[in-house]
Chains A and B, each alone.
Chain A
Amino acid sequence: GENVEQHPSTLSVQEGDSAVIKCTYSDSASNYFPWYKQELGKGPQLIIDIRSNVGEKKDQRIAVTLNKTAKHFSLHITETQPEDSAVYFCAASAGNEKLTFGTGTRLTIIP
């Protein structure tokens, strides 16, 4: 089955700086890669996703890049703000199969 590894497990950045979280996947058939943000006591919230037919997608301060050859994808957050502090999860799936999640990154924005 699919295996998703996520790094780093914790990340602290100064407010206004950029944050990058990286994930690798094992199943070359995976073609859908969403990113979720989870705040304390809440369910995961979908913030951006990418399919394997594109290499990069951007939504305001958030971007995701995908390297199918290397089987890795990354989340980039620019101009970080205190409200970006949360746990971020990457995930991968192939077609209609289940999402397999990474282990999460706790992002802390230092004012």
Chain B
Amino acid sequence: EAGVAQSPRYKIIEKRQSVAFWCNPISGHATLYWYQQILGQGPKLLIQFQNNGVVDDSQLPKDRFSAERLKGVDSTLKIQPAKLEDSAVYLCASSLVEGAKAFFGQGTRLTVV
């Protein structure tokens, strides 16, 4: 069974630029999560989708971050404009349903300079 796929693996941008990350969850998984992991910390949830609807985006900085999950499968997370403090690993995870085991992708390491 294929795991959660993310791209790109690495991205370096200058502050105030924009960037987008892509995630393809495990086939059949209805729930998709985007987490931010700052170096030395545990992952923090940014947004959770159930199919193509948003379940929880309470910790998403909506003035600069946006995410969508069209057709309830793939998802993209965008940052515009980026700040230095956005430097982190962005992890995508999926689960069969809400509350079930969550499986993570390898993440995208973003460096904002």
Count of CB-CB pairs between chains A and B under 8 Å: 52
Contacts A41-B106, A96-B98, A101-B43 aside, 15 further interface pairs with beta carbons under 8 A come to A34-B101, A43-B91, A43-B93, A43-B105, A44-B43, A44-B104, A46-B101, A89-B43, A95-B99, A97-B99, A98-B48, A101-B44, A103-B41, A103-B42, A104-B40
Cβ–Cβ < 8 Å partners of A36 in chain B: 104
Q: Cβ of A43 and Cβ of B104 under 8 Å apart?
A: yes
Q: Is the CB of B14 closer than 8 A to any CB of chain A?
A: no
Q: Is the CB of B45 closer than 8 A to any CB of chain A?
A: yes
How does the 8 Å CB contact mask read for A43-59 relative to B, with 1 for contact and 0 for none? Answer: 11110010000000000
Q: B interface, by DSSP: helix, strand, loop or mixed?
A: loop
Q: How far is the CA of A40 from the CA of B34 in the complex (A)?
A: 19
Give the 4 A-B residue pairs with the shortest CB-CB distance, closest first. Answer: A101-B42, A43-B104, A96-B98, A96-B99
**A16 CB, nearest partner CB in chain B, Å:** 29
Residues of chain A touching chain B, judged by Cβ–Cβ distance below 8 Å, are: 4, 6, 32, 34, 36, 41-46, 49, 89, 91, 93, 95-99, 101-104
Q: How far is the CA of A36 from the CA of B104 in the complex (A)?
A: 10
Cβ–Cβ < 8 Å partners of A103 in chain B: 40-42
Residues of chain B touching chain A, judged by Cβ–Cβ distance below 8 Å, are: 4, 33, 40-45, 48, 55-56, 91, 93, 98-99, 101-107
Q: Which of A45, A49, A99, A103 has the most CB of B within 10 A?
A: A99
B45's partner among A4, A46, A99, A104 (CB-CB below 8 A) is A99
Q: Cβ of B102 and Cβ of A34 under 8 Å apart?
A: yes
Q: Name 7 interchain pairs, CB-CB below 8 A, sorted by A.
A: A34-B102, A46-B103, A97-B56, A99-B45, A99-B102, A101-B43, A104-B42
Cβ–Cβ < 8 Å partners of B105 in chain A: 43
